[in-house]
Amino acid sequence: MTNSQKLRFFSHLIKLGFKEIEVSYPAASESDFNFVQDLINNGDIPDDVWIQVLTPARSDLIRKTFESLKGAKHAIVHMYNATSCLFREVVFNADQKETIRLATTHTQLVRELAEEYASKVSKPVFSNIAPLVSILLASLVTQYGTNFRFEYSPETFSQTEPAYAVEVCEAVKKAWLSGPGSTWGDGRKEERIIFNLPATVEVSTPNCFADQVEYFATHISEREKVIISLHTHNDRGCAVAASELGILAGADRIEGTVLGNGERTGNVDLVTLALNLYSQGIPPHLDFSDMFSVIDTVTECTGLPVHPRHPYAGELVFTAFSGSHQDAIKKGFEALHKRQATGDIHWELPYLPIDPADVGCTYEAVIRVNSQSGKGGIAYIVKQAQSLDLPRRMQIAFYKVVQSISEATGRELSVQDITDALRKEYHVGGSQFDGRIVLRSYNLTDSVTDGTATPADPESGPDRQRTLTAKVLVDGVVRQISGTGNGPLSAFLNALNSGLGIDLAVREYSEHAIGGGSDVKAASYVEVIPPNADSKDKTQGGFWGIGVDPDITGSGLRAVLSAANNAIGKTELKGAAFENDEKKLNGMQQ
C-alpha cells in the first residue's frame, strides 16, 4: 500500500471504532517509518487510540522503531521472536536458554527506551552539561511524553512446548516489570503487559489451540498484570473458531485484520468475529453498518477482492436460491412484520442470522431464483417488486410457469424476468401484455331482484341482480357483450358465455389493496374453471387471472378476463361479429 492508501485504511479503522491499531513495522523501510511519523505529526490519531508498531528482538531495529514514535501520545511497542523448536533450531540456531536471553535482553532495551521516550523530566545524563544545553535537551525529551505499553509475542506459540512458552513469558515479564527504576506494571489497565499468543501457522484444531491458551492463562503468574492476546492465522480455515475458543479459554484480546487479509491464508477476520458476537446480541462496539464502504476501502487499498461467500460481507451471503429456504424466509418476514407491529423488534428469521439491513444491505438480494427455487421465493419477489400478494394456489401455478422458463433458459432469473413472466402470463402491466380479449369499458346496472347469490362473487347479495354490458376487443375486433348475474363477476361470466361462448365459473377469488391514500388500487385474483370441472377438487386444473384497477369492481372484472384469456388459449370464439365502430358505443361507461 502507498502511504496515502495506508492513511485511508487507518482513518477507516478509526471510523469503525478500533482503539488499538498496528500501523507499521517502522524499521522495515523509510516509508514505513515515515508513515508513523506522518500520522503523529499530522494529528491523525485520536486521543483515545493507541497505535501499535512491530519490531523483532534486534536492538538496531528496536531503536529505529522508537524513533518513529517520537511525539506519539499512546503507543504499544510489539516485539516478537519465535520460540518453537523448529525455529530455534532452523532459523536462530539457539537453544531454549539462548532464546529466552534474546527475548529478555531486548525487553530490557524496550523498557529503557520506553522510559526515556515517556520521560517528562530531565534525566541525570544532562546534569554535567551546560545549563542552557541541558534545558534544550530536556525539552526535546519532555516533548514526547508518550504513554507506552509493551506487547511481547512468542511467535509460533502454537507450535511451542506450552510450558516453555510460559517460561519465556515469565522471563519477559520479569524483565519488563522489575528493571531498575521501572514504573510499569502497577496494575493500571493501560500498563499491563500484553502477551500475544500467535498461531503463526495454524497447525491444529481450534480446541487444541484453546487448550494451549488455557494452559498459558492458568500458568502465567500475576495474571492480573497480564493481558492475554490472540493472533490467529487461517491456514486450516479455522482462525475464527480458534479465536472464539481461545477467548472462552481465558484470553482477553484478539488481533486480526478487516476481512481477513494477511500472510498466506490471512489473519483472523475481525468482521466475522465482531458480527458473530452481534448475531448473539452482544455489541462488538465496532460499527459495520455500512459494509459496502468497508469492502470498498479494503479492496481498493489492497487490490484483493472479497469472496462472494465471505461471512457477512460477500454479495451472496444473505441470498437464498433454494426453494425451501425461500419459502421459510418469506414466511419469516411475514411473521417478523406481525411481531414488529406489536413492538417486538428482536430479529429471528429462518436462514438469516442477522438482519441484512444492519450491515447496510437491502432485501433485494435475499431471494434469487433459479431452477431450484420454489413458489415461496417467487411469490416473495412478486410481492416485493409488484406489491401483488398471490394467493397460495396461484403461487403454485405461477411457480410452474417460472420453473419452465428457468429450465428452458438454464440460467438464474432476475426480478425483471419474473415480473415480465407474470405480466405475460396474466396479461397485466401494459398493453404489450394484453390477451386475446381486452376490456375497454363496461356498464353495470341493478336489474331484477330474484334472491339468488353466488358465494364466489364478492359483490353478490341475496337481493341483487346485476346487468353488465361490456365493450371488449376480441382478437382486435370491438365487441359488445352483455350478461346478468347476482354480482358483477357472475354477470360478466354470463356475458362472456352468451356473447363469446366462453363458459367458466369462479372457483376462488381474493383481493387486497395496493398502496394507500388517493393512489390506492385494488388487486384481485380469480381462479376460473370450465363447467365440466369439479369445483371442489382443487387438484383439477383451473385458470388463474389477476386484475389491478383503481376500482374494486374493475379489478375483479379484469381478473376474470385475465383468467378467461388463459382458459381459451387459441380456441376459436363463437358469437356474431360485432361492429368495429366505436362511435356506436359512445354511450357506454369508459
Ligand X SMILES: CC(C)C(=O)C(=O)O
Ligand Y SMILES: CC(=O)SCCNC(=O)CCNC(=O)[C@H](O)C(C)(C)COP(=O)(O)OP(=O)(O)OC[C@H]1O[C@@H](n2cnc3c(N)ncnc32)[C@H](O)[C@@H]1OP(=O)(O)O
- Under the rule (CB under 6 A), what is the footprint of ligand Y? 25, 27-28, 54, 56-58, 61, 80-81, 91-92, 155, 200, 263
Among 74, 173, 192, 231, binds ligand X (CB under 6 A): 231
Among 9, 66, 80, 442, binds ligand X (CB under 6 A): 80
| Whole-number Å distance between alpha carbons of 269 and 241 | 11
Q: Which does 196 bind (CB under 5 to 8 A by kind): ligand X, ligand Y, none?
A: ligand X
Residues near 178 by beta carbon (within 8 Å), at least 6 away in sequence:
none
Q: Are 101 and 168 in contact (CB under 8 A)?
A: no
Q: Which does 74 bind (CB under 5 to 8 A by kind): ligand Y, ligand X, none?
A: none
Q: Are 123 and 116 in contact (CB under 8 A)?
A: yes
| Total site size for ligand X, rule CB under 6 A | 8
Q: Which residues pair with 458 in a beta bridge?
A: none
- Of 173-181, 194-202, 368-376, 496-504, the segment contacting ligand X by CB under 6 A is 194-202
Locate 385 and state its grid cell: 417488486
Rounded (5°) CA angle 330-332-337: 100
Q: Which does 442 bind (CB under 5 to 8 A by kind): ligand Y, ligand X, none?
A: none
Judged by beta carbon, residue 57 or residue 397, the one nearer ligand Y is 57
Among 84, 146, 153, 243, binds ligand X (CB under 6 A): 153
Residue whose C-alpha is closest to residue 298's, from 94, 10, 586: 10
Q: Which does 327 bind (CB under 5 to 8 A by kind): ligand X, ligand Y, none?
A: none
- Smallest gap from Cβ 82 to ligand Y, in A, equals 6
Residue 232 phi, psi dihedral angles, 5° rounding: -100, 140
Q: Reduced to 3 states, what is the DSSP secondary structure of residue 347?
A: coil
Locate 333 and state its grid cell: 418476514
Among 65, 159, 196, 370, binds ligand X (CB under 6 A): 196
Judged by beta carbon, residue 80 or residue 399, the one nearer ligand Y is 80
Tell me how far CA of residue 340 lies from CA of 97, 343, 512, 516, in angstroms: 64, 5, 21, 20
For residue 198, state whether it binds ligand X (rule: CB under 6 A): yes
- Smallest gap from Cβ 230 to ligand Y, in A, equals 14
Q: Are 493 and 506 in contact (CB under 8 A)?
A: yes
- Smallest gap from Cβ 358 to ligand Y, in A, equals 33
| Whole-number Å distance between alpha carbons of 504 and 496 | 8
Q: Which residues pair with 149 in a beta bridge?
A: 76
- Of 195-203, 214-222, 522-530, 568-576, the segment contacting ligand X by CB under 6 A is 195-203
Locate 256 and state its grid cell: 486480526
- Smallest gap from Cβ 257 to ligand Y, in A, equals 12
- Smallest gap from Cβ 199 to ligand X, in A, equals 8
For residue 216, state whether it binds ligand X (rule: CB under 6 A): no
Residues near 589 by beta carbon (within 8 Å), at least 6 away in sequence:
441, 442, 443, 444
Judged by beta carbon, residue 158 or residue 371, the one nearer ligand X is 158
Among 55, 65, 155, 480, binds ligand X (CB under 6 A): 155
Q: Residues interacting with ligand X, by CB under 6 A?
A: 80, 153, 155, 196, 198, 200, 231, 233
